[in-house]
Amino acid sequence: MKKNGILNSNIAKVLVDLGHTDTIVIGDAGLPVPDGVLKIDLALTPGTPSFQEVVKAVVDDMVIEKVTIAEEMKDTNPNQHEFMEMFFGHDMEYVKHEQFKQLTANAKAIIRTGEITAYSNCILHAGVFFSHLNGQ
């Protein structure tokens, strides 16, 4: 039995199978999941688990090269935006929410949280843990 990191077997499998530049999405309860994309539904009740709880858990277990969020998060959901800036700083890119939803069609999985605040979504782009070992 695993004792550290992500215990959810579906999320752990997705993370292990990620290759460089593959993406996963952490989304609020209302984010649509495109046909053909694996949905890992963690939502229990409104707000549980929160977007931030899930992001923190995944960040601890995933090498992340960059993050994509909707531009609308800045003004509509400043608390989530501040949280994302704290974790990812300058490694974030911004797109319009409609484009964000289109980009989710390429994700390996969408992790649905119980979050019910608008634009609480992000796309995490996988990096590689060994790039610093090769002088890259």
Binding positions for substrate are 28, 97, 119-121
- Please give the single-letter amino acid code of residue 81: H
Q: Where are the alpha helices (H) located in the chain, listed in sequence order?
A: 9-17, 51-59, 72-76, 78-88, 97-103
The strand pair at 23-27 and 109-112 is best described as parallel
Concerning whether 132 is annotated as a catalytic residue, the answer is: no
Q: Which two tokens stand for residue 28?
A: 């609020």
The strand pair at 122-126 and 92-95 is best described as unpaired
Feature table: binding site:
28, 97, 119-121
Closest by Cα among 61, 59, 69, 65 to 103: 69
**List 20, 81, 90, 132, catalytic entry:** 20
Active site positions, annotated: 20
